[in-house]
Structure 1
């Protein structure tokens, strides 16, 4: 976060003058210090400053909101089922305390919205979907109310903007439900709100900037360079911020810049002041797997399994351990982790769903395709092309032919040979036919991106809609969301 600035005092005075005469909520210097430390994931240090502020002013809604970051971020980062009840109760108590305040300031209204949203996300992570949906709906309506009553209150535009984008990307067949509960999305309005919160000075600016960078890329992959530049700049400005480091690592991994993502991981702050963040080990294990460093991949996924106390990513971690041992020719260990996939964790996130489905299909892996896929996922396209080109698929089964063709298309796409990629993506769709293989919807999505880049909007729309038309494949939620977002840009 930025250093304390006189702007915050001016902002507080303006807010207080526009609300109740005796409002006590103010985003103080001590609150700023707490907020900064929480975002670094230095939870204990953040709690020190929060307690200091709340001891002096126990009715400060802004300070109560920032204090909630400690419990919320701990739940999100660690996903520890043994601490869930206590940390959730802390948030419920804080929400109740804010609701009882006689303060009429915008800070109270905003604190109510943010804590409700954080409660909803916390519940959602642990599978309490109905209660989570209710909290998120109440938070959304509160953000809308604030935007009408206090249109110049910039912090409100942060989470409201993100919500508007996410709701706006929901597939059309679910829009009726959102309409019933009074939630409307707009990708354009959401991005505008997020950009305002990210570019105009306010206490939540750098937090909003990280959210804006990730959302920019989510909406349109053409924003890749801009998004990466924003996040890498944040880590340069705040090298001791572990949350921003994670965000940069996430985007670099997603955009297949594996070596850069690994540098972020290796240079991350990791002393005892910081909240334990096991998921970073799982991410690093993927990155080492992509570049063929199987021993390091095994070490980091085993570290993840030792540290992680949640139910998500367990199947995925066992699956990646199976792959690492299989590719390094340690078959007994590979078989052990393969058999464990069906026994551990849950199937709520796509990584875990894919691992579970892989076991159910009981297909023997084709080593060149498997290796080339990992190399391509890491952005090592030349290595992937060399690996895959050695494979003869003339007598292969349909799934193998489909995956081979799709992987070749992704490799040529990564090498910027879109003419060859288009041909292979089309071939993938033809080969898949009416099967539920996810290669066809993914191929259609990639064709949509290519034609959008070529300014052939009609063809782009056709393929984005085609990508959404496929049923019962393991990546349906994410592919449909990406296609919906892409359609909104045309």
Structure 2
């Protein structure tokens, strides 16, 4: 259990594992008609990746391997999005039937093991979302073994490299202290290796190249700190598929990640119009709440967080949504509601995903957060820089050492994002020096940002120095994610 809690859950964010389960094969051409998608299955696939799941169901026949595969994909998506535990038992029974069907068919095609590996990947992400981390770990291992063997047997079969590349990125992202456990499970791989494999298919003219490109764009944003590039690239996919709810969600998530809150909000309002025939996607309400909180429109933030809380069937993100509801009240000076929401957040949900863990740590603090610092942080995160600069420029008095250091750090982030690199460097350096002896994440992330800055300036020795400095910080709350980004950056310098 400890292996998966620290490895799989931390390494696969909500967006990542949602995407990995969704973006799967379209029209397949194999030796023998049993492995090809027929006309109905092609249409069903298009419905599924647009999140029109109910429209796909009548077109599928579980006695055909392609239909069995697509039906499992559809049910996996439904479970991951809704977290409806009442559907899980039937899912498990149907999974075994579909697995037996595909395994029983004789074929020398690379598609057979590819299907099987992807089925195990789908179930791994479902188990992960449902909280069954140990089962998920073994499903990941089964998927790895199948696709690794398939690649050895069919090295020219391009779809292998999409699946294997994803697994190698995940394996390579595991903290060093757990790599020996990964070795015991018979898995190995590096982030660089995985990225190269995904690039191999994304740069081809294969049918799967668009899907591999989309995966690559997500990794650009979430792992390689290339947010502007990722948004620009993914916007091309979304502009050609504006009625695809999945692509819209992923594009919206990338915009939020890249501090483009207003653009993400515009995308949200378009996606909310996609109702008839689409799977209800309650998580969009959570994202809307995030943007309105960042923007300082607290009543609208309250509206969407309450909508998410009301309709969620799972426990993930519930604690964070309740904590953000507290922030909306606190920052709008509604102390009574804030106090009640803070207490309720402590009693809500679980702490499996990173957002809920962060909320739990924030809720455990002896004092409510400083309003000025929190507002600057949120405005900066959302890309509302003018408002953040006005607030940061005012005279403020901070009494705690932590608040003083965080204010310096927040100003550094704001200056960095608005292009004032020289002053950002000074404030990042000051943050590092002043944080000595504390396990706050301000110093390691300042090191990471300095690494990125010096990389862009072409100063390789300083860039490598600061990326390595990130790895030396222990026990801070974002250690896994910051270490992974530093390692990915350092990998660029390897021959």
Does the residue aligned with 2:86 lie in a helix, a strand or coil? coil
Matched with 1:237 is 240
* Alpha-carbon distance in 2 for matches of 1:262, 1:25: 42
**Which aligned segments of 4 or more residues in structure 1 are displaced greater than 4 angstroms?**
none
Matched with 2:10 is none
Match of 2:218 among 214, 219, 222: 214
Does the residue aligned with 1:346 lie in a helix, a strand or coil? coil
Show the 5 A alignment for 1:316-395.
316-393=320-397
CA shift, 1:363, in A, is 1.8
Asked if 1 retains the 8 angstrom alpha-carbon contact of 2:301 and 2:328, the reply is yes
Output the aligned Cα RMSD. Answer: 1.9
CA shift, 1:203, in A, is 4.6
Residues 56-111 of structure 1 show CA distances to partners (whole Å, capped at 9, x for unaligned) of: xx2x3233222211111111112223323333333233223222223443222111
Matched with 2:39 is 29
Matched with 2:56 is 46
CA shift, 1:202, in A, is 4.1
Residues 377-413 of structure 1 show CA distances to partners (whole Å, capped at 9, x for unaligned) of: 11122321221222434x6211101110110100110
Relative to structure 1, is the Cα distance of residues 400 and 36 closer, same or farther in structure 2, using a 3 angstrom cutoff? same
Asked if 1 retains the 8 angstrom alpha-carbon contact of 2:432 and 2:447, the reply is yes
Which deviates more from structure 2 when the two are superposed, residues 225-234 or residues 403-412? 225-234
Relative to structure 1, is the Cα distance of residues 207 and 90 closer, same or farther in structure 2, using a 3 angstrom cutoff? farther
Match of 1:187 among 182, 191, 201: 191
Residues 95-151 of structure 1 show CA distances to partners (whole Å, capped at 9, x for unaligned) of: 232222234432221110000111111111122111111110110111111112122
Residues 178-235 of structure 1 show CA distances to partners (whole Å, capped at 9, x for unaligned) of: 22222122333322322333343445443333212101223322x3333212221212
* Alpha-carbon distance in 1 for matches of 2:51, 2:361: 35
* Alpha-carbon distance in 2 for matches of 1:214, 1:145: 27
Does residue 486 in structure 1 map to residue 461 in structure 2? no
Asked if 2 retains the 8 angstrom alpha-carbon contact of 1:61 and 1:107, the reply is no
Asked if 1 retains the 8 angstrom alpha-carbon contact of 2:454 and 2:462, the reply is yes
Matched with 2:460 is 457
CA shift, 1:469, in A, is 2.3
**Structure 1 length-normalised TM:** 0.91
Q: Which has the higher contact order (CA 8 A, sep 6+)?
A: 2
Matched with 1:397 is 400
Match of 1:73 among 72, 77, 100: 77
* Alpha-carbon distance in 2 for matches of 1:127, 1:477: 20
Matched with 2:18 is none
Relative to structure 1, is the Cα distance of residues 278 and 293 closer, same or farther in structure 2, using a 3 angstrom cutoff? same
Matched with 2:66 is 62
Residues 459-480 of structure 1 show CA distances to partners (whole Å, capped at 9, x for unaligned) of: 2222222222222222222212
Matched with 2:470 is 467
* Alpha-carbon distance in 1 for matches of 2:418, 2:411: 11
Matched with 2:168 is 164
Which runs of no fewer than 5 residues in structure 2 stay unpaired? 1-25
Matched with 1:98 is 102
* Alpha-carbon distance in 1 for matches of 2:216, 2:308: 29
Which deviates more from structure 2 when the two are superposed, residues 27-36 or residues 41-50? 27-36
Which runs of no fewer than 5 residues in structure 1 stay unpaired? 1-7, 17-21
Relative to structure 1, is the Cα distance of residues 30 and 195 closer, same or farther in structure 2, using a 3 angstrom cutoff? farther
* Alpha-carbon distance in 1 for matches of 2:41, 2:461: 51
Asked if 2 retains the 8 angstrom alpha-carbon contact of 1:116 and 1:135, the reply is yes
Asked if 2 retains the 8 angstrom alpha-carbon contact of 1:312 and 1:349, the reply is yes
Does the residue aligned with 1:138 lie in a helix, a strand or coil? helix
CA shift, 1:449, in A, is 1.2
Which deviates more from structure 2 when the two are superposed, residues 133-142 or residues 145-154? 145-154
Matched with 2:444 is 441
* Alpha-carbon distance in 2 for matches of 1:189, 1:313: 32
* Alpha-carbon distance in 1 for matches of 2:157, 2:70: 17
Asked if 2 retains the 8 angstrom alpha-carbon contact of 1:315 and 1:355, the reply is yes
* Alpha-carbon distance in 1 for matches of 2:452, 2:95: 42
Matched with 2:21 is none
Relative to structure 1, is the Cα distance of residues 192 and 355 closer, same or farther in structure 2, using a 3 angstrom cutoff? same
Which deviates more from structure 2 when the two are superposed, residues 330-339 or residues 98-107? 98-107
Asked if 2 retains the 8 angstrom alpha-carbon contact of 1:285 and 1:300, the reply is yes
Length, aligned pairs only:
467
Match of 1:84 among 79, 83, 88: 88
